[in-house]
Amino acid sequence: MKGIWTHRTVLLNEAIESLQINPDGHYIDATFGRGGHSRLLLSQLSPLGRLTAFDKDTEAIAEAQTIADARFSIRHQGFMYLGEMPAASAAGILMDLGISSPQIDNPARGFSFRGDGPLDMRMDTTRGQSVAEWLADASIEAMTEVIRDYGEERFAGLVARAIDRRRQERGPIQTTAELAEVVASAVKTREPGKDPATRTFQALRIFINAELEELQQALAASLKVLAPGGRLVVISFHSLEDRIVKQFIATHSREVFDRRAPFAAPKVMQLKALGRTKPSEEEVEGNPRSRSAVMRVAERTGEAV
């Protein structure tokens, strides 16, 4: 049933404007998704410009293949492979983190507790363990750690023990509705308007896709791939992602002195922080899923590493 799940690109114009497009430049959309940013970026390139996109979701790859433009290429890889691009080859890199609306809204992908489906949650369904497979064998200690660290769930231990009891009594959890029911039995209180399963589902999705580790690798690679003067634009949707991005930019936006050589010249900063942007009230009203978005922008300084 292709096409019934739509996606509204968050901070579309703001992100492309922040890249300060050079029409002849080479740009990287590290998270193609459904291509909103890529299409607008392409519209601003000259015949000499190029755009390379990454995505590990097979549905995103299918969408990308509908773009008939010689300036555009798509790689069926996560953006952890950004470092494979030539050094100093990119005039700008865009990372739009998180998951797209079609992934959330399609029950068959298993990302959401709002519709029952197989408990999968893999971005790339062609490889790796599903959440159901991991939960079938994970220890209580491992489940507690994942749900606590990636979901910031204060009832992580209770949720893990509830999952273990469910496995022993009725066998492994196979669907999103089953998991949501188990979590609700363990999480007795929650913020107004927030489903008890929200944090657990977030934690398992982030863990099974190694999202934070991949983000850290991609950010590190951006220092190599960005040309001096190139822009890094990152849109995140929860505090764990934004904290990593904020700390990365801060770390590389200051001179570093070697305490062992106090008279040596400091190591020059590699990035210049250019601030953060939140969606406008109008955007949030039209697309409530944009509410938590934070966009951070930095510019590559000095020589490529």
Q: Which amino acid is at 231?
A: R
Collapsing DSSP states into helix, strand and coil, what is residue 52?
strand
CATH of the domain at 199: 1.10.150.170
Counting every residue, how long is the chain?
A: 305
Report which of 1, 65, 79 is spatially closest to residue 35, judged by C-alpha positions.
65
Give a yes or no: residue 4 inside a domain: no
pLDDT of residue 265: 54
Choosing from 179, 208, 237, the residue where a domain stops is 208
- Using DSSP bridges, classify how beta strands 294-300 and 271-277 pair: parallel, antiparallel or unpaired: antiparallel
pLDDT of residue 255: 61
- What is the model's pTM? 0.89
Element (H, E) at 262: none
Give a yes or no: residue 6 inside a domain: no
Boundaries of domain holding 272: 12-101+212-300
Q: How confident is the model at residue 5 (pLDDT cuts 50, 70, 90)?
A: very low
Give a yes or no: residue 110 inside a domain: no
pLDDT of residue 99: 77
Give a yes or no: residue 3 inside a domain: no
The predicted model gives 54-79 an average pLDDT of 95
Joined tokens for residue 240: 């764990």
Give a yes or no: residue 109 inside a domain: no
- Percentage of residues in the chain with pLDDT exceeding 70? 91
Report which of 21, 17, 19, 37 is spatially closest to residue 29, judged by C-alpha positions.
37
Q: 177 with 230, same domain? A: no
Q: How confident is the model at residue 72 (pLDDT cuts 50, 70, 90)?
A: very high
Q: 154 with 76, same domain? A: no
Report which of 207, 208, 177 is spatially closest to residue 195, judged by C-alpha positions.
177
State the DSSP code for 173.
-
- How many domains in the chain? 2
Give a yes or no: residue 202 inside a domain: yes
Q: 31 with 179, same domain? A: no
Joined tokens for residue 31: 């998270």
The predicted model gives 7-30 an average pLDDT of 94
Q: 26 with 171, same domain? A: no
Give a yes or no: residue 106 inside a domain: no
Collapsing DSSP states into helix, strand and coil, what is residue 74?
strand
Residue with token string 């109008």: 282
Collapsing DSSP states into helix, strand and coil, what is residue 30?
coil
Q: 226 with 162, same domain? A: no
Q: 270 with 288, same domain? A: yes
Average pLDDT of the chain?
90
Dihedral angle of Cα 136, 153, 105, 192, to the nearest 10 degrees: 140
Q: 93 with 143, same domain? A: no
pLDDT of residue 258: 52
* 33 phi-psi bin (left φ>0, alpha ψ -120 to 50, beta other): left
Alpha-carbon distance 142 to 293, whole Å? Answer: 29
Collapsing DSSP states into helix, strand and coil, what is residue 36?
helix
Residue 277 makes CB contacts below 8 A (sequence gap 6+) with 11, 14, 18, 294, 295, 297
Q: 91 with 221, same domain? A: yes
Collapsing DSSP states into helix, strand and coil, what is residue 14?
helix
Q: How many CB atoms lie within 10 A of CB 228?
A: 12
Tens digits of residue pLDDT in 106-164 = 777 877 877 789 999 998 988 899 999 999 999 999 999 999 999 999 999 999 999 99
Choosing from 208, 229, 246, the residue where a domain stops is 208
The predicted model gives 175-184 an average pLDDT of 95
pLDDT of residue 1: 36
Choosing from 148, 179, 208, the residue where a domain stops is 208
| Count of helix runs (H) and strand runs (E) in the chain | 12, 7
Element (H, E) at 224: helix 211-225
Give a yes or no: residue 116 inside a domain: no
